[in-house]
Amino acid sequence: MKDRQRPFYKIFNGHRIPGAFSEGALEGFLRYHPADDDIFIMTFPKCGTRWTHMMLSKTLQVCRHLSPRPFILAEREGVAAILAAPRPRVVCAHLPFRLTPRNERTKYVYVVRNPKDCCVSFFHHTRSHASYGFADGTFKEFFEIFLDGLTDFGNYYENLKSWYARKDDPNVLFMTYESMKFDTRGSVIKLARFVDERLAIALEEDNDKMMSVLEACSVESMRKGLQGHLIRKGVVGDWKNYFSHEQSRRIEGRFMLEMKGTDIPDLWRDVDWKLPVPNGASVL
């Protein structure tokens, strides 16, 4: 890549953030003490943040008759926006576990997406926002940045591993984007039950409420509500339209190396995200 300063990022306390973001907003959020009834949605970028937020917001709306929860990306908007939001507050962020403000009574929902689809979606996001200065950037350029863990919000591999290690904590719900796509209804119930058993019961007993949530979090509805902003395809497998065989081989190798000693690769055992491996050979 000709210019390693593209896309435009900032480094704050060793953490990479978009160049248009304020260091003060992140600094304030890192010192925030979550309320007991806060619900955090934690993701690496482009792994279903807004989709999960919509699922939860609409569930609270139809089951508790609450107003829609505002979308708050904590690293961008800071503590003031969080404190101004109605409770229970839904807070979205892209931090690894070690940097996330914690409270053992706060609920944390973590969603991850397979690295190839994440990379493609993140590429389009970065190219479409003028503040990155990457409008003419190529997928080949962005692939190298993603592969090396040098995108904004840090390192995909570290982010995933840090939250996977906490997946059995009683106040953490760990989900994959792909499982949410394949069984959206079941995922809505799972999310609702994690937040409050009564929410899940309300959805299971009233199909109109469930259908209202499912309609609100469909790609078509979300794209219309956001005028297409930030919502592109919302599919599994779009990586096949971008990755060369060599790029696939390299990212699979890097992923398996980073996840060595864990069962994280099993998260996508039933998802077509890897190259065929002849005769059981390793991709490494």
Q: Domain of 194?
A: 14-114+153-234
Let me know if residue 87 belongs to a domain. Answer: yes
**Domain tally, the chain:** 1
Known catalytic residues are 94
Let me know if residue 167 belongs to a domain. Answer: yes
CATH number for the domain spanning 213: value is: 3.40.50.300
- CA–CA dist 10, 133 (Å, integer): 13
Does this model's pTM top 0.85? My answer is yes
Q: What is the 3-state secondary structure (H, E, C) of 71-111?
A: CCEHHHHHHHHHHHCCCCCEEEECCCHHHCCCCCCCEEEEE
Let me know if residue 192 belongs to a domain. Answer: yes
Let me know if residue 131 belongs to a domain. Answer: no
- CA–CA dist 175, 186 (Å, integer): 12
User: Which pLDDT tens digits describe the chain residue by residue (284 residues)?
Assistant: 445 467 999 999 889 999 999 999 999 999 999 999 999 999 999 999 999 999 999 999 999 999 999 999 999 999 999 999 999 999 999 999 999 999 999 999 999 999 999 999 999 999 999 999 999 999 999 999 999 999 999 899 999 999 999 999 999 999 999 999 999 999 999 999 999 999 999 999 999 999 999 999 998 898 886 644 555 566 788 999 999 999 999 999 999 999 999 999 999 999 989 887 655 555 44
